[in-house]
Structures are given as structure tokens and as C-alpha cells.
């Protein structure tokens, strides 16, 4: 078989450049296999993240020819002829080569108010399949953070990271909001703290999701509708003015001891 | 010398998979200061790869199920080499541990009346595995991860532990590590350490394990003075992908067989009917008709032979391939497409559908999968106390795959996720009671830190030397060829002599590049543990002159009764990775008469 050329971005936070590696093509290989062969021969210090190599852990997301992909699930023979370009995810600061600092996502995760369920009956909760399925879709998320990478709200506007959680955490909020056991009201939190209003539904996140989660249609739009119902409905607004909230708010719940 | 960054804890947990996270939750709930170190990012541990489910005798599908049957199944699956007390505790506590996950957000698939649905798996008499499609491991790790984060527990990500540290009394006092993103060193002083480092499958060429499965915890425990048992017991999962070559070894869940998939050879025969060992004959179907009735109604027929324990199925596949009845790429066929509807397969086995479609271009709803055995799990590991998970080294605890005993000579599918939550919690409790009793100083010796750092940096200082990737490849090829699924005394002795050569080569590694996020350097720091574990596996296998569970000797093909009551126990007197280890057969704990009765009733 013919050779392939990989153009790989090498460098760190101070700068870097592309380096080309020409390597024999093997049948059935994915991009990660080729990177591994480069590591094992020419460049043992080429930095990339990976774990499961089966599309289940979401570690190996990089931009392949400018589009975020899991290297372990991208077959070489599905890419167009010619050199293949590998760059780190653009939205996050670079650590080295293809490895980025994704701590933004872990900071967002720490802010999510925990599930607040009612006390568990001795023999466990009763939930029905049709009721758990909505949240189960969002729990398929493997946290590859490619949806965060393509979201132009933070990809092109670094300053927005301070008040925008991003698609990964909108599905997390949606998962909890739709969770059969959750007693929190998260709508105000999602509007105020997570910056849901910044999203203008361009569906870039949905397009790149390797788990095919319908991020926009099934999580973001329903969340926006719920927020609108709660916040901008004049009757609800009046109700809030007149009486104290009776439902636990998510921000209060965050400090309550979970079970 | 410069001062090194240090963090101080009551409980330091190495590993952020299911066992480590569950231990952290327990220790934190007991009011202790807890830190978790992981080689990867949080949520990426090998637990995410677990597909089929976690075994717990909740009786939601078959009300006849109870802990006694689960205990019996675990012991039989393990060929009675198990620590009976661990098997008892596991069977009794698993249901409670599974239910508690739902308080933290887990959403399992449901039965019609709203309880947790349970699925059939090999070696389990009743449908017993709580699951979410074929991504149960992801559900477990996400649930525990989110709980850990909500509790504010410190997690040190992409931080690689080099060595455990002890105080002047020989008690555990912390660990020396390095940050992957900078290459800088860091120490952790701690009253206790819980090892939750997972497995060691990366020493084999065809493995379902990720780069992390390098046996760090096994090796560090041995170096610190603890004992390893049953290291020869390696599980080769019967169904790994065999093609394309680049994904060879990648796991295909046992759930395919639990949901109706069958194994066929190149002649189209369901060959498993020819490989039913005497101990399983009474409960296994004799004809295809009988087996097929069983899926819908467990009282209408006996179990299909495809659902025998994993060691039995792997050996059978191996024999078919050797007899020339294999598939084009050296495996056999796993067929569910001709037996279940496309809609059923996509709903029950979504990851498998995508895995084959995207990586092999095979539509499993229409075509059979080509599969073969892959190195999957190590039953052997650190010898622990059943109640507390304490090791021989004071202050050191171990839970999950790194610990040994629960699974004996062969693990049943689904018993590892439940192992993590049962013994993860017990490890947290064990560490807490050790501290409550006044144990642990956290005062490590600086000279040990200096020595660990010097050893880690040596590969940079050499002017010339070998690429660590070459050594890793040769180790994997050698272990695959000589310490694989079928073993002989000659090959094992050859393996040990090859390991001596590899040991010298590791001492001559030259690392290229800088210290920041350098995978070559990281591999150089992994290799001592990989060599240690490989040596212990080969030593155990050479000493166990019989075949039992995940250990098969061509030169000793039968089980020997006397060996069924012995754990081959390995230790290191000098604590050096390149030193000599000792091995001796020690009697396994004697089972209580009540539990013995349970096993005898089943026979």
C-alpha cells in the first residue's frame, strides 16, 4: 500500500509549528493507530491523550483536517486523499502537541448542583423505562468535549468562558432537570449562571457528538423553553413577586448534603 | 536541592476508577481528608470500558435469586480458589451498593414494574446484571465521579505515581509522583494509601486493556512488602475483535451472548455443545432446541453452552481455531444478526453495533462478528484481608482489580463492577478504622523520594540507549507467545529468561525530548511495573502444575485436587523491581461449614 503523510502540530503554549511524518499505510487503521506508530518510531515524545481506543472514554479528541474527531474512531480510509492534518482542540489552552488543558470543563462540572432525590425506599426507587430514557440519552456522554470545542460562543470568544457552561453542561443540566428523582428547580440557575441564553442554536455541537446525542433538539431547546416559562411568563413573574419560592432552588441545593 | 510540592491527606487513593472513587466517597463520608490521584483525566479510567453490567442478587427478574446462589456461582466460576469470605461479603452486599448508586444519579434500565432490570451472563444462574444498555461501566464511573465532585474531594489528574513511601517503622506514609503536564515531581504524605490501580493486561499484545493497565499497583505493593497471590490466573475474554488488526483485542461484550448470540465455527456448527465440562453438564442444554427455549423462559430448558464461564469458552474457541475450523482472520463467528431483530440489537447493544460498523465495516444486525480470546482481566493481585482490604504492609489497602481473592481462578462477567463498589467502600472503611486506631504517621523518608526521582530521571541522562517503545513491543510479543492462554513449562522458563534480558534493556532506556507531557518518558516509568507483573505471572504459572480457571497448562491439562487449596504467594525481600522475588504455596482460608454446605448442595 501507498504511504501517508501526517502533518502534526508540535509545540506548547509558547508556540509551535507543523511537522510532517511519512509512514506506510496499513489496512483498517484509525488515525490513532498511525499516531501510535509515529510515537513508537520517529517521535516518542509526541504528546496525545488516549485511553480506551474504542470510542468509550472520549480522551483522544483532536481536530483532524480542522474538524474535531475521536482519533480512535476515525478510519484513515474515510479521509480524503492527501496529507492528514492533526491539530489540538482550538477552544482550550495548549499543554503540548495534541494535548490541551481541558480544566474549564472540570470547573464547570464542579458548579453543577448535585441531584437531590427524595429518601430512598428500603427496596429501591421505582422508575419506569419511558421516564428514565430522556436522561439516559444525555448520560451516554463520554466527555470528549468536542461539543465544547466547536461551540463558537467560547471557541471565538475567550471572555465568554466566565459565564457560559457550554453544550456538555447544558445536557448535564437537562439530564438532571428531566431526572425522575430530582427535586431541584434548576431553571433560574441555568439562565443566570450557566449562560443558556448565549446559545443561538446553530447545532454545531449536535453535529460533532460521537454518541449522536441530540444536544440541541433534546436538551438545549427544551431547557430554553422551561427557562422562558419560568422567567418571562408574566403570571409566573407576578407569582414570584407575591410569594416566596416554595421549591428548592438549585443554588441552595448545592450546599445541602446529598445522601 | 529544591523543595518539592507536597500534599497531605488522611487517605490517599491511587486510581480513579470505580474502586478508587467508591473508596473516596466512603472515606470522605467518615470525615477524613481524602485525595485521589489518577494517571488520566477524571472519568477516563478503564471502568468506562465495562459493558455488560454489575452482578447483584436483587431478584428483580427471577425472585428465586439470592446471595447464596450468587456466592455459589462465584465460587464455582473461580474453581474454588476464591477467598470464601470475600465471595460471601460480595454476594451479600452487592444489592445494597447497586441501589445506593441511584441516590447519586445512576439510571439503570428498568423492569416493567419500575425496578432495576437484570440481564443474563455467563456462569450466573439467574439474570443478575444491573445494566444500562451496553455502557454500564460509563454509568458507574459517571455516577461516582459526579458524587465525588459534588463532595469536593481533591482529584489530582494526569499525575503518575512512581513509588509508595514508608515511614521509619515500615508503615505506609505516602507516595512520590510526577505531573504529566509539566514533568515536575510531587509528593503526597498520607496516613493511609488505598491502591485502586486496576489491571495489568498491557503486557500482552492482544488485550482489551488501555495504556493504563500496566500493573502499577500490583508492582508497587510487592515492592512495598505486600504479597501477591494467584498471579497466574489471567482471564482471556472469549470475545475480542480479531479484525482489523489495529483493533485486535478490543472487547465485544458478553451481553451479545446473554441476549441470544451464538458461537459458530467455519462449518457453521454451534461448537460449544462439544465443550461442556463435567461440572457444568447438569445445568447446560444438550441440544440447540433446548438452549433456544431458555432465553425466554429459564424453566423451559437448560442454559445455552455459550454462557459457560469465560475460561471454558475461551479454551473452546482456541481449540476450534487450532483444529482448522476458525474464521478467515483466526477467530470464530459470533452471530446475533440471524437470531434477533435489527431493532432489538440496536437497542440492547448500541455500542457494539457502532463499534463494528465504524471500525470493521460490519453490520452486526445482518452479519456475524469475527471474534477470538483477548487478555482482559487479572484475577491475581494483592493479598488482602476480606473485611478491611488491608494488605500485609500497615496502612496500605487495595480494592478492585489490583486486589486478589474474590474471583479465585476465574472471574464471572459482571462480578467486577460489583467488586469495585463492595470492596471500594470496604477499603474506605478499612482505612478509616486504621486511622481511628491511631495508625499512620505520614512521615516518609526524603531519601526514598530522592531515589525514586533519580531513577525516573536516569533515562534522560544516558547519552545512548534504547527506545522504550521497542522494549514494550518485545515484552508484549514475548508474553503473548509464551504466557498466553495455553502454557507449557518450557515456554514459561523461556519467558523468565527473556524477562531477565528485558530487565537489562529497561535499565538502558534513553528518553528523547523534554519532561512535559512526554509519552516516551511515561512509558519508561511504566516498564518496571510491567516487567514485575509479567515475571510474577510467569512464576505463578510455572509453579501451578495443573490447569484451573484462567490458567491452562498443556503439560498438566487436569485440575489437581491438592492445588485447589493453595494460593501461590509472591513477595519481594529487597523491594527492588529488578531484584528477586520469592514464591511459595500457602493454604487458602478454610471455608466455614455453613458455606461449605451451600457449595455441596449445588454439586
Average pLDDT value for residue range B509-535: 97
In a domain, B600, yes or no: no
Of B105, B108, B113, B114, which Cα lies nearest the Cα of B147?
Answer: B105
Give how far B389 is from chain A: nearest CA, Å: 25
Best of B60, B144, B514, B517 to disrupt the A interface by mutation (most A CBs within 10 Å)? B517
Best of B107, B329, B351 to disrupt the A interface by mutation (most A CBs within 10 Å)? B107
Name all domains of chain A by residue range, CATH numbers in brackets.
3-100 (3.10.20.30), 103-253 (1.10.1060.10)
Phi, psi of A122 (to 5 degrees): -55, -40
Q: What pLDDT was estimated at residue A259? A: 54
Q: What is the pLDDT of residues A177-216, one digit of tens each?
A: 999 999 998 998 999 999 999 999 999 999 999 999 999 9
For B365, the grid coordinates are: 444486525
CB hemisphere CA count around B152 (13 angstroms): 9
B293 and B152 in one domain?
Answer: no
Higher per-residue pLDDT: B395 or A188: B395
B34 and B179 in one domain?
Answer: yes
B57 touches B128 (CB < 8 A): yes
Q: Nearest by CB to A126, from B114, B149, B247: name it.
A: B114
* C-alpha–C-alpha distance, residues B571 and B580, integer Å: 9
Rg (CA), chain A: 22
B417 touches B45 (CB < 8 A): no
B356 touches B363 (CB < 8 A): yes
In the predicted model, what is the mean pLDDT of chain A? 91
Cα angle B252, B327, B48; round to 5: 10
Higher per-residue pLDDT: A240 or A140: A140
* C-alpha–C-alpha distance, residues B196 and B363, integer Å: 37
Contact A106 B42 (CB under 8 A): yes
Higher per-residue pLDDT: B404 or A240: B404
Q: What pLDDT was estimated at residue B527? A: 98
Contact A44 B473 (CB under 8 A): no
For the cut 80, the answer to whether the pLDDT of residue A24 exceeds it is yes
Neighbours of A113 (CB within 10 A): 24
User: Which chain A residues in 183-242 lie under 8 Å from chain B, judged by CB atoms?
Assistant: none
Average pLDDT value for residue range A136-148: 98
Q: Nearest by CB to A139, from B107, B468, B517: name it.
A: B107
Lowest mean pLDDT among A22-26, A54-58, B296-300: B296-300
Q: What pLDDT was estimated at residue A258? A: 52
* C-alpha–C-alpha distance, residues A56 and A210, integer Å: 10
Residue A35 — left, alpha, or beta (φ > 0 → left; ψ -120 to 50 → alpha)? alpha
B367 touches B337 (CB < 8 A): yes
For the cut 90, the answer to whether the pLDDT of residue A109 exceeds it is yes
In the predicted model, what is the mean pLDDT of chain B? 95
* C-alpha–C-alpha distance, residues A201 and A216, integer Å: 7
For the cut 50, the answer to whether the pLDDT of residue A254 exceeds it is no
In a domain, B603, yes or no: no
For the cut 70, the answer to whether the pLDDT of residue B171 exceeds it is yes
Q: What is the pLDDT of residues B345-372, one digit of tens each?
A: 998 898 899 999 999 989 999 999 999 9
Domain span holding position B371: 238-375
* Residue B245 confidence class, pLDDT cut points 50, 70, 90: confident
User: Which chain A residues in 81-110 lie under 8 Å from chain B, judged by CB atoms?
Assistant: 95-97, 99, 101-102, 106, 109-110
Q: What is the pLDDT of residues B450-495, one digit of tens each?
A: 999 999 999 999 999 999 999 999 999 999 999 999 999 999 999 9
Of A180, A173, A195, A175, which Cα lies nearest the Cα of A250?
Answer: A173
Residue in chain A nearest B143 by alpha carbon: A139
A31 and chain B: CB distance < 8 Å anywhere? no
* C-alpha–C-alpha distance, residues B295 and A56, integer Å: 29
* C-alpha–C-alpha distance, residues B530 and B114, integer Å: 46
In a domain, B296, yes or no: yes
Contact B467 A56 (CB under 8 A): no
Contact B512 A259 (CB under 8 A): no
Give how far A212 is from chain B: nearest CA, Å: 11
Residue in chain B nearest A98 by alpha carbon: B517
Q: What pLDDT was estimated at residue A256? A: 44
Give how far B354 is from chain A: nearest CA, Å: 9
C-alpha of B30 from chain center: 28
Residue in chain B nearest A49 by alpha carbon: B40
Average pLDDT value for residue range B592-596: 95
Q: What is the pLDDT of residues A74-96, one digit of tens each?
A: 999 999 999 999 999 999 999 99
ipTM above 0.90, yes or no: yes
Pinpoint the alpha helices (H) of B323-445: 342-348, 350-359, 415-436
With 0-12 / 13-18 / 19 or more C-beta atoms within 10 angstroms meaning exposed / middle / buried, residue A160 is middle
B320 and B301 in one domain?
Answer: yes
A28 and chain B: CB distance < 8 Å anywhere? yes
Q: What pLDDT was estimated at residue B531? A: 98
* C-alpha–C-alpha distance, residues A183 and B144, integer Å: 20
Cell 508474553, located at residue:
B479
Largest CA distance in chain A: 75
Q: What pLDDT was estimated at residue B341? A: 97
B536 and B506 in one domain?
Answer: yes
Best of A92, A139, A172, A174 to disrupt the B interface by mutation (most B CBs within 10 Å)? A139
B255 and B198 in one domain?
Answer: no
B286 and B214 in one domain?
Answer: no
Q: What is the pLDDT of residues B49-71, one digit of tens each?
A: 998 899 999 999 999 999 999 99
Contact A120 B99 (CB under 8 A): yes
B107 and B231 in one domain?
Answer: yes
B223 touches B448 (CB < 8 A): no
B341 and B197 in one domain?
Answer: no
Q: Sheet harboring B262-264: ordered strands across?
A: B234-241, B369-378, B332-335, B262-264
Q: What pLDDT was estimated at residue A235? A: 75
B193 and B276 in one domain?
Answer: no
For the cut 50, the answer to whether the pLDDT of residue A253 exceeds it is no
pTM exceeding the 0.80 threshold for the entire prediction: yes
Q: What pLDDT was estimated at residue B602? A: 65
Q: What is the pLDDT of residues B88-131, one digit of tens each?
A: 999 999 999 999 999 999 999 999 999 999 999 999 999 999 99
Average pLDDT value for residue range B194-221: 96
For B322, the grid coordinates are: 487450532
- β-strand partners of A12: A15, A96
B245 and B198 in one domain?
Answer: no
* Residue A1 confidence class, pLDDT cut points 50, 70, 90: low
Q: What percent of chain B has pLDDT over 70?
A: 99
* C-alpha–C-alpha distance, residues B84 and B408, integer Å: 9
Q: Quick check: is B70 catalytic?
A: no
In a domain, B441, yes or no: no
In a domain, B179, yes or no: yes
Q: Nearest by CB to A26, from B46, B132, B246: name it.
A: B246
B466 and B356 in one domain?
Answer: no
Q: Which residues contact B143 (CB under 8 A, 6 or more apart)?
A: B101, B104, B105, B106
B340 and B265 in one domain?
Answer: yes
Q: Quick check: is B339 catalytic?
A: no
Phi, psi of B222 (to 5 degrees): -60, -45
Indicate which CATH number applies to the domain containing B105.
3.50.50.60
> B237, B248, B411, B544: which one is catalytic?
B237
Residue in chain B nearest A99 by alpha carbon: B517
Give how far A40 is from chain B: nearest CA, Å: 5
For the cut 70, the answer to whether the pLDDT of residue A246 exceeds it is no
Q: What is the pLDDT of residues B297-337, one digit of tens each?
A: 888 989 999 999 999 999 999 999 999 999 999 999 999 99
Average pLDDT value for residue range A217-228: 95
Best of A43, A47, A171 to disrupt the B interface by mutation (most B CBs within 10 Å)? A47
Amino acid at each position: 500500500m501507498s504511504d501517508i503523510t501526517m502533518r502534526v502540530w508540535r509545540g506548547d503554549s509558547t508556540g509551535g509549528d507543523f511537522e510532517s511524518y511519512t509512514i506506510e499505510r496499513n489496512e483498517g487503521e484509525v488515525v490513532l493507530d498511525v499516531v501510535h506508530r509515529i510515537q513508537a518510531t520517529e517521535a516518542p515524545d509526541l504528546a496525545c491523550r488516549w485511553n480506551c481506543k474504542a470510542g468509550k472514554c472520549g480522551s483522544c479528541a483532536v481536530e483532524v483536517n480542522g474538524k474535531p474527531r475521536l482519533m480512535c474512531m476515525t478510519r484513515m480510509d474515510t479521509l480524503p486523499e492527501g496529507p492528514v492534518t492533526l491539530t489540538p482542540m482550538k477552544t482550550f489552552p495548549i499543554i503540548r502537541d495534541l494535548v490541551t488543558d481541558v480544566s474549564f470543563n472540570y470547573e464547570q462540572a464542579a458548579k453543577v448542583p448535585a441531584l437531590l432525590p427524595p429518601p430512598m425506599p428500603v427496596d429501591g426507587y421505582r422508575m419506569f423505562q419511558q421516564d428514565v430514557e430522556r436522561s439516559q440519552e444525555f448520560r451516554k456522554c463520554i466527555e470528549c468535549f468536542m461539543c465544547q470545542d466547536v461551540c463558537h460562543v467560547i471557541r471565538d470568544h475567550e471572555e465568554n468562558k466566565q459565564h457560559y457552561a457550554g453544550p456538555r453542561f447544558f445536557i448535564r443540566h437537562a439530564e438532571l432537570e428531566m431526572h425522575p428523582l430530582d427535586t431541584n428547580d434548576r431553571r433560574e440557575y441555568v439562565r443566570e449562571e450557566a449562560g443558556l441564553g448565549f446559545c443561538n442554536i446553530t447545532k454545531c455541537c449536535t453535529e460533532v457528538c460521537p454518541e449522536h446525542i441530540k444536544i440541541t433538539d433534546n436538551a438545549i431547546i427544551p431547557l430554553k423553553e422551561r427557562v422562558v416559562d419560568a422567567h418571562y411568563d408574566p403570571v409566573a413573574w407576578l407569582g414570584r413577586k407575591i410569594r416566596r419560592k416554595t421549591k428548592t432552588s438549585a443554588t441552595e441545593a448545592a450546599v445541602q448534603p446529598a445522601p | 536541592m529544591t523543595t518539592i510540592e507536597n500534599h497531605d491527606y488522611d487517605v490517599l487513593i491511587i486510581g480513579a476508577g470505580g474502586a478508587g472513587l467508591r473508596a473516596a466517597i466512603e472515606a470522605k463520608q467518615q470525615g477524613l481528608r481524602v485525595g485521589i490521584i489518577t494517571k488520566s483525566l477524571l472519568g477516563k479510567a478503564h471502568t468506562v470500558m465495562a459493558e455488560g453490567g454489575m452482578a447483584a442478587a436483587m431478584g428483580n427478574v427471577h425472585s428465586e435469586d439470592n446471595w447464596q446462589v450468587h456466592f455459589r456461582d462465584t465460587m464455582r466460576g473461580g474453581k474454588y480458589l476464591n477467598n470464601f469470605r470475600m465471595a460471601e461479603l460480595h454476594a451479600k452486599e452487592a444489592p445494597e451498593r447497586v441501589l445506593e448508586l441511584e441516590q447519586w444519579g445512576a439510571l439503570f434500565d428498568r423492569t416493567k414494574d419500575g425496578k432495576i432490570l437484570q440481564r443474563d451472563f455467563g456462569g450466573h444462574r439467574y439474570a443478575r446484571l444491573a445494566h444500562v444498555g451496553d455502557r454500564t461501566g460509563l454509568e458507574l464511573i459517571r455516577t461516582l465521579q459526579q458524587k465525588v465532585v459534588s463532595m469536593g474531594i481533591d482529584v489530582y489528574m494526569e499525575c503518575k505515581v512512581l513509588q509508595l513511601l514508608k515511614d521509619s517503622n515500615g508503615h505506609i506514609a505516602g507516595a512520590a509522583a510526577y505531573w504529566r503536564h509539566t514533568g515536575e515531581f510531587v509528593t503526597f504524605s498520607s496516613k493511609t494509601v488505598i491502591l485502586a490501580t486496576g489491571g495489568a493486561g498491557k503486557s500482552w499484545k492482544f488485550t482489551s486493556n488501555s495504556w493504563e493497565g500496566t500493573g502499577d499497583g500490583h508492582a508497587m505493593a510487592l515492592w512495598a512488602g505486600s504479597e501477591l497471590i494467584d498471579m497466574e490466573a489471567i482471564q482471556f475474554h472469549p470475545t475480542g475483535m480479531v479484525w482489523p488488526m489495529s483493533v485486535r483485542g478490543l472487547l465485544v461484550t458478553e451481553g451479545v451472548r446473554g441476549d441470544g448470540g451464538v458461537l459458530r465455527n467455519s462449518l457453521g456448527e454451534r461448537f460449544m455443545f462439544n465443550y461442556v465440562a463435567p461440572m457444568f453438564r447438569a445445568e447446560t442444554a444438550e441440544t440447540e432446541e433446548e438452549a433456544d427455549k431458555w432465553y425466554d423462559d429459564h424453566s423451559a430448558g437448560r442454559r445455552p453452552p455459550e454462557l459457560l464461564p469465560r475460561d471454558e469458552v475461551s479454551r473452546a474457541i482456541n481449540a476450534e481455531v487450532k483444529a482448522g475450523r476458525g474464521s478467515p482472520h483466526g477467530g470464530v463467528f459470533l452471530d446475533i444478526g440471524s437470531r434477533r431483530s435489527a431493532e432489538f440489537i440496536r437497542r440492547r447493544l448500541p455500542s457494539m453495533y457502532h463499534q463494528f460498523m465504524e471500525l470493521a465495516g460490519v453490520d452486526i444486525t445482518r452479519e456475524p462478528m469475527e471474534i477470538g480470546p483477548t487478555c482482559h482481566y487479572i484475577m491475581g493481585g494483592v493479598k488482602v484481608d476480606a473485611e478491611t482490604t488491608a494488605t500485609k504492609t500497615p496502612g496500605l489497602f487495595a480494592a478492585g482489580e489490583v486486589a486478589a481473592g474474590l474471583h479465585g481462578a476465574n472471574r464471572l462477567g459482571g462480578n467486577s463492577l460489583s467488586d469495585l463498589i463492595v470492596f471500594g467502600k470496604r477499603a474506605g472503611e478499612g482505612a478509616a478504622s486504621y486511622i481511628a486506631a491511631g495508625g499512620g504517621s505520614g512521615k516518609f523518608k526524603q531519601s526514598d523520594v530522592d531515589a525514586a526521582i533519580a531513577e525516573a530521571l536516569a533515562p534522560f541522562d544516558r547519552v545512548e540507549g534504547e527506545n522504550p517503545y521497542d522494549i514494550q513491543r518485545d515484552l508484549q510479543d514475548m508474553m503473548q507467545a509464551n504466557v498466553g492462554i495455553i502454557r507449557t513449562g518450557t515456554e514459561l522458563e523461556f519467558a523468565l529468561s527473556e524477562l531477565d534480558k528485558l530487565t537489562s534493556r529497561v535499565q538502558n532506556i534513553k528518553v528523547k525530548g523534554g519532561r512535559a507531557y512526554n509519552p516516551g518518558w511515561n512509558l519508561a516509568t511504566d516498564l518496571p511495573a510491567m516487567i514485575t507483573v509479567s515475571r510474577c505471572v510467569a512464576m505463578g504459572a510455572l509453579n501451578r502444575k495443573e490447569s484451573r480457571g484462567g490458567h491452562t497448562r498443556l503439560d498438566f491439562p487436569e485440575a489437581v485436587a491438592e492445588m485447589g487449596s493453595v494460593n501461590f504467594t509472591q513477595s519481594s525481600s529487597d523491594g527492588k523491581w529488578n531484584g528477586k522475588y520469592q514464591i511459595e504455596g500457602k493454604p487458602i482460608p478454610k471455608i466455614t461449614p455453613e458455606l461449605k454446605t451451600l457449595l455441596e448442595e449445588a454439586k
